Amino acid sequence: MNPSAAGANVRALAAQALQRIVAGRSLRVEFAAFSTKLDDSRDRALLSALLHAGARWWLRFDAAASGLLERPLPPREAVLQALLVLGLVQIEVLGLAGYAAVDASVEAARVLGKPKFAALVNAVLRRWLRERAGQEPTGREGQRWPRAAGARLAALDADPVTRSAHPRWLLDAFAADWPDDAEAIVAANNAEAPLWLRTNRRRVERGAFLQRLQAAGIAAQAPPQPPEAVQLATSADVTGLPGYADGLFSVQDAAAQFAAGLLDLRDGQRVLDACAAPGGKSAQILEHADLRLLALDSDERRLPRLRDNLARLGLQAEVRAGDAAQPAPWWDGERFDRILIDAPCSATGIIRRQPDVRLHRRASDVPALCKTQARILDACWALLAPGGRLVYATCSVLAAENAEQIAAFAARHADARAQPVRLAGWHVQEGAGVQNLPGESGMDGFFYALLEKPC
């Protein structure tokens, strides 16, 4: 396959996948499915870049593409709308040459089996380029198109939704909970997230791992905290990094790596990871101490990946399917010394890493999530041994899921003792808990609270 044809094929696959993502499918799932159709790692990297940028900026460039059309595309041609958005994203976000983005998109329309629309794709994207350059072209039969570049961009920037590519409810939530930081949160969400690794302390010391990366020509750095974290200078296929097959590291954002330290793990303890899949925090718990871990998740379909992750790292745990909010079917009656609740949440702290969250999440989801979180907290508290410690974590920045959730829990349980959490640079929350906002210290948005049960 020649390079131009290969480029068109990648864009055609990206348009199909993005169409499905916008309709409600997971970006991660769609990338996994469509990337198997590409043999070249460079093509897979381009597919990933297209899907992440397309989802991240959909709310802006979907509006832009629609404004460039004389009439809306019919719903059955949603893949063409996705192709147009990707064309604009390549020009405005990925910085590809305009002519190359247009030509590849036009050819992609043919690859998609829609040759009749190739001229439309060409016309729309070239119109954007002309307007962007401030030209005033002549349309059919001498009709003058208005000088629209400035006006069109101004209209996109005038609306907070299209300017930020965030739904209005989310902008309002940021403004309500973080009035001084809302703009910074949005800016961080629209930037590409760095790649963080966590070294497996049972198999390699962090300094030795950094030396292996350096020897392989891979630039990386290690912050003072958390102690096993490594940040790569550029994204990479992690399966090709030194030590992957040997289980020397896992992929995990640095903000999520503080969980094990807060649990204060010791040999011989019985520990519950209540919402364990895909297993990153379960693995970290097992790396820190010789203990008995029950890795529980409500979705049995996610357990094979959890088991695979543990096996690659050389770790063992009891892995079970079960609802943490309903212990009766799976709990054996022995209380736990430590419990981690990495609660199901809105994922509003990891939008930069999972940009499809902004397309899928709704304001109406939050109250239901809060009810689920409260049920899990109440149920797991009954399973915690006297003198035990429970860590509650979310990848949310919404107060209702975080500080307010913990305050409500403490009001229901007189025996719950909220302990101070001290993480350098994190925002201490009124009542209990600490919050990192997206992008701060290069990390994701994350919340932790620490609860202890008296003896």
> What does the buried/exposed string (b/e) look like for 255-279 if buried means 16 or more CB atoms within 10 Å of the residue's CB?
bbbbbbbbbebeeebbbbbbbbbbb
Q: Give the up-direction half-sphere exposure of residue 132: CA atoms within 13 A in the CB hemisphere.
A: 12
Rounded Cα–Cα distance for residues 232 and 132 (Å): 35
Q: Which two tokens stand for residue 276?
A: 């364990």
| Parallel/antiparallel/unpaired status of strands 195-199 and 229-232 | antiparallel
Say which of 275, 345, 370, 395 is annotated catalytic.
395
Which residue's structure tokens are 């020009």?
91
Angle at 183 between CA 233 and CA 344, to 5 degrees: 75
Nearest to 297 by CA among 357, 340, 263, 355: 340
Angle at 418 between CA 295 and CA 201, to 5 degrees: 40
Q: Is 140 exposed, middle or buried (0-12, 13-18, 19+ CB in 10 A)?
A: exposed
Q: Which two tokens stand for residue 404?
A: 């307010």
DSSP structure string for 200-269: -TTT--HHHHHHHHHHTT--EE--SSSTTEEEESS---GGGSTTTTTT-EEE--GGGGGHHHHHT--TT-
Compute CA distances 58 → 54, 64, 190, 355, 422, whole Å.
6, 10, 11, 10, 38
Q: Which two tokens stand for residue 165?
A: 């590519």
Query: Which helix (H) or strand (E) segment is 195 a member of?
Result: strand 195-199
DSSP structure string for 257-274: GGHHHHHT--TT-EEEET
Rounded Cα–Cα distance for residues 250 and 419 (Å): 29
At residue 55, φ and ψ (nearest 5 deg) are -70, -40
Give the three-class secondary structure for 135: coil
Cβ-contact 287, 279 below 8 angstroms: no
Rounded Cα–Cα distance for residues 419 and 410 (Å): 11
Active site residue 395: yes
Give catalytic residue positions.
Answer: 395
